[in-house]
Structure 1
Amino acid sequence: MYKWLAIILSCLLIAAGISGCVYSKAMAPMKKARDAAEERLKSETDIKSADEFYLYNGSRTYYVVIGKNSKGQEAAAWIPDNKKDKVHVKKISDGVSKQDAVNKLLSEKKPKEILGVRLGMEKELPVWELSYLDENSNLNYYYIHFDSGKWLRKIENL
């Protein structure tokens, strides 16, 4: 009896180890992208800390970092994956908050579940991208302009 218990526990430990290795390997490119974005953040902006990190894949890839600048104000930096392109920085207080973006979605649509809210950049415009499931469990994307809070575009029923 103890022999079988030892075999089962050994198999579970091996499976957990393999799962940990696979997860670590899968997350390595994301960690590398975050490290590169934080390096550019420190060398090209006044943002001193990286509190939140988003990887945005829209028409172009951006790494978005939210942190505090040297004055202690919360700011966001949109860092393009192309090192030749300019980093865009805005104070969070100058745009629509994450909660206001969610409230706008809730007032205009009736999502069953909000899957994610992240900052991104579309056509040189900073946006909040909200992904959600509707009442039919269809995937939808809703984009709100960060500066004005106005609806920019939506992708529905995926």
Structure 2
Amino acid sequence: MSKKFISFLTFVLLTILVSLVLLFMRTQDSIYRAEDEAVKLISYDFKVENVNKFYWSTTDKTYFAVDFNDDKGQQHYAIITQEGGETNYYTKDEIITEDEATSIVLYDMQPDKIVQMRLAQINQEPIWEATIKNNNGTITYYIISAKDGTWIQTIENI
């Protein structure tokens, strides 16, 4: 192989790599922007001391949810409708935690792998949505009530 060909190939590979890195950074930027906007909305009602976790989910609408601690150390959950910014707040005593929801899904479904847990709403009710990867390569969404952990819906073979 000639030096020109190797140089050209190196240039092409570097261009592809840089493009992929820029694409990844751009994707992550929208997530961080959404989280910042959610925290700003919450700040009208609470002084947010610490964000424990941010969730982005689409059920009947697109929702942003934030697990956070206020300036008094109290844990809260905020579920925000992306369009319009309607915000519902819950304390840790009003809804189950992500760990509790994960335990319920593991018990009920006995999945090979839970890819992700997301806090959202369906018809104004808080829910936990589990994304499950099945051993046949399909995805299942298992949705439970965030208030008491009862089953709401299963969407299979996606």
Q: Normalization by structure 2: what TM-score?
A: 0.84
Structure 1 residue 79: Cα displacement: 1.2
State the partner residue of 1:36: 37
1:21 partner SS: helix
Measured in 2, the distance between the counterparts of 1:26 and 1:18 equals 12
Question: Is residue 38–residue 80 contact of structure 2 (8 Å, CA) maintained in 1?
Answer: yes
Pairwise CA RMSD of aligned residues? 2.3
Distance 1:135 1:14, change over 3 A: closer
State the partner residue of 1:127: 127
Gap regions ≥5 residues in structure 1: none
Structure 1 residue 116: Cα displacement: 0.7
Measured in 1, the distance between the counterparts of 2:75 and 2:155 equals 30
- More strand per residue: 2
The alignment status of 1:92 with 2:92, answered yes or no, reads yes
- Aligned-pair identity in percent equals 22
Question: Is residue 128–residue 146 contact of structure 1 (8 Å, CA) maintained in 2?
Answer: yes
Structure 1 residue 33: Cα displacement: 1.9
1:13-57 C-alpha deviation (Å, 9 max, x unpaired): 433322222222333333332222121121233433223111111
| AA at the equivalent of 2:141 | Y
1:148 partner SS: coil
After the TM superposition, which residues 9-158 of structure 1 pair with which residues of structure 2 at under 5 Å, given as runs?
A: 10-83=11-84, 85=86, 87-158=87-158
Measured in 2, the distance between the counterparts of 1:154 and 1:14 equals 43
Distance 1:15 1:135, change over 3 A: closer
Question: Is residue 65–residue 119 contact of structure 2 (8 Å, CA) maintained in 1?
Answer: yes
Measured in 1, the distance between the counterparts of 2:90 and 2:52 equals 15
Q: Which runs of 4+ in 1 moved over 6 A?
A: none
Question: Is residue 118–residue 130 contact of structure 1 (8 Å, CA) maintained in 2?
Answer: yes
Question: Is residue 118–residue 128 contact of structure 1 (8 Å, CA) maintained in 2?
Answer: yes
Measured in 1, the distance between the counterparts of 2:27 and 2:130 equals 24
